[in-house]
Structure 1
Amino acid sequence: MNAKQTYRLYKELGLQIRNKTPKRRVKAKLREDRAEAVHADDVWAMDFVHDQLATGRKIRVLKVVDTFSRFSPVVNPRFSYRGEDVVATLEQACRFVGYPKTIRVDQGSEFISRDLDLLAYQRDVELDFSRPYAFIESFNGKFRTECLNAHWFLTFEDARSKMEEWRKDYSTVRPHIAIGNKPPISLMKGSSEVSAL
């Protein structure tokens, strides 16, 4: 049965034909195009996780990680995030470690905002909109297990300090098997300046 016959039968029976809604077009790299990072600051991955304080108030945590070195320049909790908040957090981190060539993000509203698109254009950073990206999901799992599930956050400042303590340990102290049992900071360009972060 072809499309014309289907259309004729629908009309005879008085049925409505469902219109196809166009898919939203987003500028994204093709999957075949994605090369693995070969240097620090080649590719960053960015995502959110959610948790709550002891009072029940929800917090969102923006996490950024370099996929080559495993260095995490940002683990930043807030009560809410908008596109401009993501940009402000990235600008603050990039003052110390520089801008990456590519940032892999999902299709969240904060990541498809004009603010982040403008930052990417001005700083010559390519935004790579991916579906589930295994590296950041693995990082999310470690963060949830070792930090979020291990602590009971009494206040927002308590949450911020414990998350920052975990980030510093993960990025500057803990050796990673995937990078030759070295801490991530050892693979960063200008690691002495980065350690101040």
Structure 2
Amino acid sequence: MALDTVANKKVSIRLACSAFSISETCYRYQSQNSDENTQIAELLVDLTVEQTDWGFGQCFHYLRNTKGYLWNHKRVYRIYCELALNLRIRPRRRLKRNVPEPLKEPTKSDQVWSMDFMHDQLVDGRKYRLFNVIDDFKREGLAIEAGFSLLSQRVIRVLDQLLEWRKKPIALRCDNGPEFISHEFVHWAKKKGIRIDYIQPGNPQQNAYIERYNRTARYGWVSKHLFDSLEEVQDYATQWLWFYNHERPHTANGGKPPLMAA
């Protein structure tokens, strides 16, 4: 109001400040953070457009830990709310369920690898599968193998390729799918000296790490894109796996990507 009065009514600054009970210092103050606030807003908008499944926590950890910006979280959250980005997703009503027993946390890499399959389809309707493997310690993604038919032989081949550059895990955690209970796979694990930890049927929470990883992949890229061929799926999966390990913040790692976590 004081600014409008001085500009339009040709009143002196002193008289305007006296009339509106403000100091001349307050009147002459100009924000020094407007440019930075604009930059924060642009980064937040770009992030939420690209990563539609990210909330404020993921966005802030990405800016802080991956990109190295040291802005205060309260300031970033204020701009996040001013942009109404906190209203993008309507919260769903959740059912009350019994709390599952917590999984035992690995204390170092290559203690337990978790494995599971995902399903989707190409533009022409052909269904394909994704075989996912992660290291439970830092939730590091180890492999994503795409195929129309992923039998136990393909599973063994993927694991053999991983063992060429990774230490042998103590155990493999998986469900009771036919690929994992086949005699060929069981014989391979026994020959390698690797224990197979099967979860109880109907209890996917016992394989919670890979289930959460599957959900991240599902909302991060699988459900976002339509692919014409299996080769396109594999190429995109390889690129996304690098992004997941090197740049995507993970709450289990204190907001840092798996390969940046100590």
- Give the TM-score of the pair, scaled to structure 2: 0.56
Aligned mates of 1:187, 1:146 — CA distance in 2: 21
Q: What residue in structure 2 maps to residue 147 of structure 1?
A: 221
For 2:244, which of 170, 176, 179 is the aligned residue?
170
User: Which residue in the other structure is 2:232 paired with?
Assistant: 158
Give the SS at the match of 1:110: helix
Question: How far apart are the structure 2 equivalents of 1:125 and 1:38?
Answer: 18
The CA deviation string for residues 39-98 of structure 1, in whole angstroms up to 9 with x for no partner, is 111111100000111111110100001111111111111110111111011111221122
**Matched residue pairs, number?**
156
Q: Structure 1 residue 99 and structure 2 residue 168: aligned?
A: yes
Cross-structure match for 2:188: 119
Report the structure, 1 or 2, having the larger helix content. 2
User: Moved runs in structure 1, 4+ residues, more than 3 A?
Assistant: none
Q: How does 1:1-197 map to 2 (within 5 A)?
A: 35-131=104-200, 132=204, 133-186=207-260
Q: Is the 8 A contact 2:138 2:252 kept in 1?
A: no
Distance between the aligned counterparts of 1:63 and 1:52, measured in 2?
17
What is the CA–CA distance in structure 1 between the aligned matches of 2:126 and 2:117, rounded to whole Å? 16
Contact 2:175 2:198 in 1 (8 A): yes
- Looking at CA atoms only, which structure, 1 or 2, has the larger radius of gyration? 2
- Paired with 2:154 and 2:260, the residues of 1 have a C-alpha distance of 29
Q: Which amino acid counterpart does residue 183 of structure 1 have in structure 2?
A: P
What is the CA–CA distance in structure 2 between the aligned matches of 1:129 and 1:167, rounded to whole Å? Answer: 25
The answer to whether the Cα contact below 8 Å between 2:139 and 2:209 also exists between their aligned partners in 1 is: no
> For the structure 1 residues 38 and 163, does the alpha-carbon distance in structure 2 shift closer, same or farther, using more than 3 Å as the test?
same
Counterpart contact for 1:40–1:187, Cα < 8 Å: no
1:73 match: secondary structure: strand
- Structure 2: distance between partners of 1:85 and 1:91: 10
Aligned to 1:48, what secondary structure does the other structure show?
strand
Are the counterparts in 2 of residues 46 and 65 from structure 1 also a CA contact under 8 Å? Answer: yes
Write the distance in 2 (CA, Å) between the matches of 1:54 and 1:92. 30
Q: Distance in 1 between matches of 2:243 and 2:154?
A: 25
Deviation at 1:163, TM superposition (A): 1.0
TM-aligned CA distance change 1:98 to 1:186, over 3 Å: farther
C-alpha deviation, 1:149, in angstroms: 0.6
Q: Which moved more, 1:178-187 or 1:101-110?
A: 178-187
Q: What SS is found at the alignment partner of 2:105? A: coil
Distance in 2 between residues matched to 1:56 and 1:36, nearest whole Å: 40
TM-score, structure 1 normalization: 0.74
- What SS class does the counterpart of residue 172 from structure 2 fall into? strand
Q: Structure 2 regions of 5+ residues with no counterpart?
A: 1-100
